[in-house]
A = this chain, B = another copy of it.
Amino acid sequence: MARAWHLKSRPSGMPTLDNFELKDVELPPLGEGCLRVRNRWLSVDPYMRGRMNDVKSYVPPFQVGEPMDGGAIGEVIESRAEGFAPGDLVQHMAGWRDEAVVAARTAQKLPGLGAPPEQFLGVLGVTGITAYFGLLDAATAKAGDVVFVSAAAGAVGSVVVQVAKAKGMTVVGSVGGPDKCGFVRSLGADHVIDYKTGPILKSLAAAAPDGIDVYFDNVGGDHLDAALALARNNARFAICGMIEGYNTGQPTSLRFIMRVIAARIRLKGFIVFDYFPRLPEFYAEMGPWVADGTVKSRETVVDGLDNTADAFLGLFEGANTGKMLVRL
């Protein structure tokens, strides 16, 4: 017997606890090539909001009445797969639950980088991969660029700030609230904007009077519009997320979209999965940065499987600084 979070109903607008249900599930017998895993850490991420809608996208939607899934780190407690033994720590996609039977081919043993296991859901995992390739590949950011990052205290944003600084860029981060301002400043950002204190366009114009070369978008909406307004010639935008729009269903109203022409702006959407073939490149650069403290990991940890849905909902209220994780 395991316990797993199920999608009880689809939200319209902001999800609530009523959309989720924690229920017992029977685990299948351990087939050949499979692992029984006890989860230690669960990942909750903004992109999961999209999976709560019945819409085909780059990941399939959650199904009503069925268990949910997502990134997790677990310990192998029984193995019928070559190369895996009890005690191994693995990363896999059977999150939102305490125990799972998974096919070994869908699980990866954690690389021996000497980092704490939970970092493979954060700075050394999908979060870090998103930040690294979004900034350096999708936005082709380079030394000397002025980089604007929204949700700069968030899981992805906080890594973007640090990678940009490590690569010799000037960084303007936007966050909500004074605590997050301090945090992002401590990561080395050159300017930090609290978007709650005034119109983002005005704040960004003050922080980057000569404009921006790169925008790493986690937010959409007014942040995207301000970035369009202040983009320098040949600016590049990496569009990673638009959390502002995930729950509202409202159209995005852009006053400055026409500037893409005069300023020759490039916007590029990207999905982290597309970069998985380039993981060795990522580990080679990020591994040492994390080990020597150039890139610091920051997590907001919620304890207990029972609180997983709460942790997820907190993402939309700015409850997290850095990566939001659930520890079992």
Residues of A that sit less than 8 Å from B by CB: 50, 57-58, 220, 224, 239-242, 245, 251-255, 257-271, 274
Contacts and interface: CB of A to CB of B under 8 A. Distances in A.
B251 A255 contact: yes
A262 B251 contact: no
Contacts of A255: 251-252
B220 A239 contact: no
A242 B257 contact: yes
Contact of A242 (B224, B251, B258): B258
- Give the number of times this chain occurs in the complex, counting copies: 2
Contacts of A240: 261
B57 A262 contact: yes
A262 B220 contact: no
A11 B255 CA distance: 19
Contacts of A257: 220, 224, 242, 245, 252, 254
A269 to B, nearest CB: 3
A276 to B, nearest CB: 14
A240 B240 CA distance: 24
Given A263-B269, A265-B267, 8 more contacts: A220-B258, A239-B260, A259-B269, A260-B269, A261-B271, A262-B269, A266-B267, A266-B268
B268 A241 contact: no
A273 B202 CA distance: 31
Contacts of A264: 268-271, 274
Contacts of A251: 253-255
A271 to B, nearest CB: 6
A261 B265 contact: no
A55 to B, nearest CB: 9
- 8 closest A-B pairs by beta carbon, nearest first, are A260-B269, A261-B269, A267-B267, A251-B255, A251-B253, A57-B262, A266-B268, A252-B257
Given A267-B266, A268-B266, A241 B254 contact: no
Contacts of A242: 257-258, 261
Contacts of A50: 262
6 contacts: A252-B255, A253-B253, A260-B267, A264-B270, A264-B274, A266-B266
A270 B258 CA distance: 11
Nearest to A266: B268
A242 B256 CA distance: 11
A328 to B, nearest CB: 30
